[in-house]
Amino acid sequence: MNELRPNGGMRFLCAVLAGLLLAVHTGAEELSLQPYQTKSKQWTYVSFGRAPSAADGAEAPILWRVLAASTERALLLSDRLLFAARVDGQESGYAGWETSELYGRLNGEFMRASFSYGEQAALLPQEDGALVSLPAVEDLRNPDYGFADDRSRRASGTDYARANGLQVYPGSRKESPYWTRTPSEHAGAHRRVMNEGKWGYRGVADDTYGVRPMVLVSLAEALPLTGSGTQEDPFVLAFEEPEMPPEDGTEEPAPADPDETPEDQPPEAQDDLPGDEDLPGPSAAASSVTEYATLFPALTEEGYLPEGEEEFSYADPDKGLWLYVSTDMRVEIVRKTDTAKKSEPRRWFEAEIFVREGSGEFLKTYYHELNPRTRKLAETQVIARENHLVFAINTDWYYYRVLRNAKKRTMPVGVILRGGEVFYDDPTKNLSNIIPTRDYLALYPDGNMEAFDYNGPGGEELLALGAYETLCFGPILLRDGEMTEPTKRLGAKGNNNPRTAVGMVTPGHYVAIMVEGRTKKSVGCRLDYLADLFAQKGCRVAFNLDGGGTSSMIFMGVYLNENTYGAQNRLQNEVLGIGVSENVN
């Protein structure tokens, strides 16, 4: 990736416009994107996304200043303060920007409401891991970004912000203070920009200060620009919106790119996991041992309800315990915490699932509106309720890669099986140093799970082996009970994030773990930490699924986890679940 080049008059603007596009065409006439500059207005301006602007909440395009750009990406700062908000609701014990309410709001509610799917897909993580952030003090002191003095930092709010609690300084300019993401040396406070662009600090619970978002945008898929780049006539930064696949299932699966899978390149050796004949099935000894016997009704020796007994469920959120048992399966979910390091508290949910041999129950995907090819998205909680699921977690969010490829191929979808059918046989070519690695986990109707590297067997070969579905994300966390090298490598340099993963002790004995993140109670975890949790449960295989705002765990139709995206997790088209109960609706 080319290095970002900062604002500096003609040099900066040339870099910006070269990065966006060299020219746009109006009829037969070429409009050259030359710099726009005067002594009082030195930035190039673009419009990107939408937000409430008028006092009555009517939306308008968001106007941004281009701080820096390369041929591949641009750093943008909103020209106005879009709304007023507190950084966090609790000054005492404030844990930092990455776990703050405002960080979560910007990367959840604000991002979903302000940017379309195509626009969201163009957002890149910034230094703090956020897709939508605030400027740091260093950014607002950087003359190469256009901030040469106090005056250049001054900002005013939109009519909407002023009508909804934004503090306004006396005077005709209607300027207001606004937050930075830089914590103050004073506990429970953040640095702010005050009157006349001077510096100050304020307790994070003050909700009258302005919010001035900053985004880093990939320009690889940007459409030709319109506009002239001035504040009055900004360039329109737009992206082609993905078309959803048809609901009738007539869409052709995306073919594997011949450039990505050369015929003369042999596939990597298959995972050396034992076959079904070498793995013990669920035994009475393994299944019946439970420390919650006094809370369950009387169980059989195998650990399930006797035939004819009604299902039983138990939930105690205060204690962090959720239980379910029927004649065919048992679920035990425990909420756990790790506060050994005060600056990195962690909270997660461990679900242990036991399935009676011969019951026909096994983990598999369930769909929104019961349609495996639906183009509609919903909360995972809603999907779990539609399917009356006892237990559910998010899947691999392969559909995001489908959306990215709807107009132009930008990433391999992976090897995707659903319901005994090959949806996509589109493996990646090379070992990935980022997540997802597009390794995959095959699920079998006999309850077995088998993990394959990114270049393992194709879809038809997996069907021939008896696979029913695959989860394509990765990396593989555990193989034969040992942490894999990709997990060690990616974990060592990775960040703490919300994460979801699934594993198997033996066929019919599963473990699912969802680690909360970006909250006061939990910062999330790295991949190696997650793998250790599965190893402690005795799993032979464990596999990382999509995380971040996708991560969710649902019991009897109710979310167990909290996150900083508000009540709504990232919308999905499916969940991974097990057990059907008419008591879930």
Find which of 244-248, 375-379, 537-541 is predicted with most confidence, using mean pLDDT: 537-541
**Is the separation of the CB atoms in 207 and 86 below 8 Å?**
yes
Whether residue 560 is contained in a domain is answered as: yes
Residues 320 and 415 placed together within one structural domain of the fold: yes
* Section 80-92 average pLDDT: 91
* pLDDT above 60: residue 235: yes
Residues 201 and 283 placed together within one structural domain of the fold: no
Residues 231 and 289 placed together within one structural domain of the fold: no
* Section 461-488 average pLDDT: 96
For position 99, what pLDDT does the model report? 79
**Listed residue (73, 102, 65, 68) closest to 85, CA to CA:** 102
For position 87, what pLDDT does the model report? 94
Report the 10 Å Cβ neighbour count for 283. 14
* pLDDT above 70: residue 266: no
Greater pLDDT, 566 or 269? 566
Report the 10 Å Cβ neighbour count for 114. 21
Q: Which tokens hold the place of 35? A: 């710099």
Residues 280 and 223 placed together within one structural domain of the fold: no
Residues 232 and 284 placed together within one structural domain of the fold: no
Q: Which residues contact 571 (CB under 8 A, 6 or more apart)?
A: 377, 378, 379
Q: Considering 184, 209, 236, which residue would you say is the last residue of a domain?
A: 236
Report the 10 Å Cβ neighbour count for 31. 15
| Alpha carbons 317 and 532: distance in angstroms, whole number | 25
> Position of tokens 């991949």?
527
Greater pLDDT, 338 or 244? 338
Q: Which tokens hold the place of 569? A: 């997790």
Helices (H) and strands (E) in the chain, counts: 13, 34
| Alpha carbons 179 and 138: distance in angstroms, whole number | 13
| Alpha carbons 436 and 578: distance in angstroms, whole number | 24
| Alpha carbons 441 and 450: distance in angstroms, whole number | 6
| Alpha carbons 98 and 129: distance in angstroms, whole number | 8
For position 240, what pLDDT does the model report? 82
**Is the separation of the CB atoms in 134 and 179 below 8 Å?**
yes
Rounded to the nearest 5 degrees, what angle is found at the Cα of 435, between the Cα atoms of 429 and 439? 50
Greater pLDDT, 280 or 186? 186
For position 395, what pLDDT does the model report? 97
Q: Considering 236, 266, 288, which residue would you say is the last residue of a domain?
A: 236
* Section 555-565 average pLDDT: 83
Alpha helices in 117-267 (DSSP H): 117-122, 137-140, 150-153, 159-163
* pLDDT above 60: residue 239: yes
* pLDDT above 80: residue 298: yes
For position 95, what pLDDT does the model report? 78
Sequence letter at residue 530: L
103-112, 247-256, 292-301: range with lowest mean pLDDT? 247-256
Residues 200 and 280 placed together within one structural domain of the fold: no
For position 408, what pLDDT does the model report? 67
Whether residue 115 is contained in a domain is answered as: yes
| DSSP 8-class letter at 162 | H
Q: How confident is the model at residue 563 (pLDDT cuts 50, 70, 90)?
A: low
**Listed residue (430, 462, 517) closest to 271, CA to CA:** 462
Greater pLDDT, 354 or 2? 354
* Section 524-537 average pLDDT: 96
Q: How confident is the model at residue 4 (pLDDT cuts 50, 70, 90)?
A: low
| Alpha carbons 349 and 35: distance in angstroms, whole number | 54
Beta strands in 317-444 (DSSP E): 321-325, 329-338, 346-355, 364-367, 389-393, 414-418, 421-426, 439-443
- State the total domains in the chain: 2
| Alpha carbons 455 and 471: distance in angstroms, whole number | 14
For position 172, what pLDDT does the model report? 67
For position 237, what pLDDT does the model report? 92
Whether residue 13 is contained in a domain is answered as: yes
Beta strands in 85-188 (DSSP E): 123-124, 132-133, 178-183
* pLDDT above 70: residue 217: yes
Phi, psi of 290 (to 5 degrees): -150, 135
Residues 154 and 287 placed together within one structural domain of the fold: no
For position 143, what pLDDT does the model report? 87
Residues 317 and 226 placed together within one structural domain of the fold: no
Average pLDDT along the chain: 83
**Is the separation of the CB atoms in 369 and 376 below 8 Å?**
yes
| Alpha carbons 105 and 519: distance in angstroms, whole number | 11
Whether residue 242 is contained in a domain is answered as: no
For position 290, what pLDDT does the model report? 77
Whether residue 87 is contained in a domain is answered as: yes
Residues 203 and 294 placed together within one structural domain of the fold: no
Q: Alpha carbon of 518 to those of 103, 127, 324, 521: distances in Å?
A: 8, 15, 29, 8
For position 43, what pLDDT does the model report? 86
Predicted TM-score (pTM) of the model is 0.61
For position 524, what pLDDT does the model report? 92
Q: Which residues contact 373 (CB under 8 A, 6 or more apart)?
A: 245, 246, 247, 248, 249, 251
Residues 354 and 468 placed together within one structural domain of the fold: yes
* pLDDT above 90: residue 346: yes
Residues 344 and 457 placed together within one structural domain of the fold: yes
For position 279, what pLDDT does the model report? 39
Q: Alpha carbon of 392 to those of 169, 321, 373, 574: distances in Å?
A: 51, 16, 19, 10
Whether residue 478 is contained in a domain is answered as: yes
* pLDDT above 50: residue 29: no
Whether residue 267 is contained in a domain is answered as: no
| Alpha carbons 525 and 133: distance in angstroms, whole number | 21
* pLDDT above 70: residue 551: yes
**Is the separation of the CB atoms in 124 and 581 below 8 Å?**
no
Q: Which tokens hold the place of 522? A: 């939990």
For position 192, what pLDDT does the model report? 96
For position 1, what pLDDT does the model report? 36
Q: How confident is the model at residue 570 (pLDDT cuts 50, 70, 90)?
A: confident
* Section 431-456 average pLDDT: 93
* Section 347-376 average pLDDT: 94
* pLDDT above 50: residue 74: yes
Residues 199 and 310 placed together within one structural domain of the fold: no
Q: How confident is the model at residue 202 (pLDDT cuts 50, 70, 90)?
A: very high
Whether residue 250 is contained in a domain is answered as: no
Peptide linkage before 306 cis (omega within 30 of 0): no
Enclosing domain of residue 291:
276-580
* pLDDT above 70: residue 7: no
| Alpha carbons 213 and 133: distance in angstroms, whole number | 6
Greater pLDDT, 281 or 117? 117
Q: Which tokens hold the place of 198? A: 């001077």
